Amino acid sequence: MSWTDERVETLKRMWGEGQSASQIAKELGGVTRNAVIGKVHRLGLSNRATGAGPAKTETKPKAKAAPKAEAKPKAAPKAEPVEMKTEAAAPPRSTLPARKQIIPAGQPLPPQPSANEISPEALAKVNEVEKKAKKISLMELTERTCKWPVGDPATEDFWFCGLPVKQGKPYCEAHVGVAFQPMSSRRDRRR
């Protein structure tokens, strides 16, 4: 894969949106997060929004790799922008459209299966697991966290399982059990 204008554009957009290099890499496909980071640097668009935001990249001194570095010319300080603190109170949560926020989810989230189609064993297992679920938020989902949704998305009582997924699957073992039922099994149980 090469960096076509289109791909670079996507890279810029996503990086600007605060997406991680790995997420961008997955979106683009054919490249690793290293490639993305390398490109980001070559494009000279490293530090993202300095203002508020989740980024909060701490200043890395990089003691190891910094042979040349700067001398001691304190004459040219970096006149900090003195980020305006005019916005004392946090703006209403609804300020940002929170657009599509393309997030992890490799596969589309399946609808909650009807209770009557799930084997009693699997159901019991799930109820048990949900007690110790990590209860993570949408933003915290990764390819290795169970993406099983729990609760009502319209309320505060909503979260994703978050437990370690079962190899190659989008859910933890317990949820894989209720998500992927053999056809024969489903038919036999149907009313």
Partner DNA sequence: CCCTGATTCGC
Partner DNA sequence: GCGAATCAGG
For position 34 contacting DNA by CB under 7 A, the verdict is yes
Contact of 172 with 166, CB cutoff 8 Å: yes
Which residues are within 8 A (CB) of 190 and not within 5 positions of it... i.e. 6 or more apart?
117
Applying CB under 7 A, among 58, 70, 152, 156 the residue interacting with DNA is 58
Residues 60-119 that bind DNA (CB under 7 A): 60-67
Q: What are phi and psi of 148, to 5 degrees?
A: -75, 120
Residues 12-31 binding DNA (CB under 7 A) are: 19-23, 31
Which part of the chain contacts DNA (CB under 7 A), choosing from 54-62, 74-82, 89-97, 152-160? 54-62
Show contacts with DNA in window 151-190 (CB under 7 A).
none
Nearer to DNA, 57 or 112 (CB): 57
Render 16-84 in DSSP notation, one character per residue: HTT--HHHHHHHH-SS-HHHHHHHHHHTT--S---SSSS--------SSS-SS---S-TTS--------
φ, ψ (nearest 5 deg) of residue 136: -95, 165
Residue with Cβ nearer DNA (125 or 134): 134
Sign of the C-alpha dihedral computed for residues 99, 100, 103 and 105 taken in this order: positive
Contact flags string 115-154 toward DNA, x per CB under 7 A = ---------------------------xxx----------
User: CB 175 → DNA: shortest distance, Å?
Assistant: 18
The residues that touch DNA, with contacts defined as CB under 7 A, are 1-3, 19-23, 31-35, 37-42, 46-47, 57-58, 60-67, 142-144
